[in-house]
Amino acid sequence: MEPHRHARVPDLSQRRALVTGAAGFIGAYVVDGLAAAGYNVAALDAFDDTVYAASLKRQRAERLRQEHGVETLTLDLADVGAVVDLLDSAKPDVVIHLGALANPRRSVSAPRAYVESNIVATSNLLDAMRTAGVGKLVFASSSTVYGADRTFPWREDLPCDRPLAPYAATKRSAELLCHAYHVIAGLDVCVLRFFSAYGPWGRPDMMPMIVTRALFDGETFTLFDGGAPKRDFTYVGDIAAGVVSAAERVCGFETINLGRGEPIAMIDFVRTLESIVGKPALFDTKPLPPSEAPITYADIARARALLGYNPTVTLEDGLARLVDWYRAHGE
């Protein structure tokens, strides 16, 4: 691991944000949005390679350096003292906590790592914020906290006590920790539940990139239940815009979905990619794992009302952008 380096003394005339998981898929887009909005950004990432190769994260971090002059510091949230020092140095108005281990299916075989990364690390960050006197947090949660609830669309006030995988359980647990610190430390907290992000620079372990790569390489991939499951696929730039809006608008304690509100069958997702790439998909089929819901479907009325959230990128446009990026970077 690279040695920890303190962020430079910030320009206190600017709004200041600290982003964990800044070199992640969504994190890098959030840094883009914050920089465009005029924030001074302190970016950090553990550059963990548990879920996928850290080399892609380093490429994203290099892009952020070149485009915005933002240096991404290497920091593990297990080092509470270093986190407090960084908060004291960066003096952020808001912390945006995106750092986590993702992928529900993978969490089934490695639950302890997910507990450490998603619960313990969040607890460490919350305690460091209390110690450093930082008063506002935007926390990245997940649509997986809804389990397999069949009450559609999923509203934020639905019960979230039946997780299907350890990953979902850790995200829900972290949400509850955030509420506890809202009560005991007076933190303003906005919990954001993300739905199926896709787009350029995407994670290689997730379906959109797996299918894109397979189409270009002529390889076979697995489509669960013949592609019948539905996901509320949401373009990553739209989600990032919602995160930036949350950093600017929300106080108190809020829980808000960030999706598109349009579930799409996986087979339709694949057929759309086929038409854009111009090659046929080769896939086999297996039963959907019990760790995954058959349908995800966001109610985004709350996001529209509180954040002015308005996802504008259609599936066709978003996938065209993904394919263009893959042609330039992935082949």
- The torsion region of residue 249 among left (phi > 0), alpha (psi -120 to 50) and beta comes to alpha
- The torsion region of residue 147 among left (phi > 0), alpha (psi -120 to 50) and beta comes to left
**Rounded to an integer, what distance in angstroms lies between the CA atom of residue 162 and that of residue 30?**
30
* 3-state DSSP assignment of residue 279: coil
Here the tokens at position 289 are 């794992």
* Of 8, 14, 12, residue with least CA distance to 43: 8
Q: E strands within the chain?
A: 16-20, 40-45, 72-74, 94-97, 136-142, 188-194, 197-198, 220-224, 230-231, 234-235, 253-258, 264-265, 282-286
- Locate the domains of the chain by residue range: 16-198+234-260+299-311
| pLDDT reported for residue 1 | 32
The verdict on whether 167 is a catalytic residue reads yes
Here the tokens at position 250 are 């929300």
* Of 10, 5, 62, 243, residue with least CA distance to 139: 243
**Rounded to an integer, what distance in angstroms lies between the CA atom of residue 204 and that of residue 83?**
29
Here the tokens at position 83 are 């986190």
| pLDDT reported for residue 250 | 80
| pLDDT reported for residue 216 | 97
| pLDDT reported for residue 13 | 60
Q: Which residue has tokens 């004291």?
A: 88
Here the tokens at position 262 are 């349009």
Q: Which residue has tokens 């690390």?
A: 121
Please give the chain's pLDDT, 331 residues, in tens.
333 333 344 455 689 999 999 999 999 999 999 999 999 999 999 999 999 999 999 999 999 999 999 999 999 999 999 999 999 999 999 999 999 999 999 999 999 999 999 999 999 999 999 999 999 999 999 999 999 999 999 999 999 999 999 999 999 999 999 999 999 999 999 999 999 999 999 999 999 999 999 999 999 999 999 999 999 999 999 999 999 999 999 899 999 999 999 999 999 999 999 999 999 999 999 999 999 999 999 999 999 999 999 999 999 999 999 999 999 997 5
One of 167, 181, 198, 297 is an active-site residue; which one? 167
**Rounded to an integer, what distance in angstroms lies between the CA atom of residue 98 and that of residue 141?**
8
Class of domain 16-198+234-260+299-311: alpha beta
Q: Apex CA 61: angle with CA 32 and CA 17, to 5°? A: 50
pLDDT (tens digit per residue) in 83-135: 999 999 999 999 999 999 999 999 999 999 999 999 999 999 999 999 999 99
**Rounded to an integer, what distance in angstroms lies between the CA atom of residue 298 and that of residue 190?**
17
122 phi, psi to nearest 5 deg? -65, -40
**Rounded to an integer, what distance in angstroms lies between the CA atom of residue 20 and that of residue 42?**
9
Task: List C-alpha distances in Å: 293 to 148, 274, 289.
Answer: 5, 25, 9
| Widest CA span in the chain | 56
Cα-Cα-Cα-Cα dihedral sign, residues 134, 242, 20, 162: positive
| pLDDT reported for residue 331 | 58
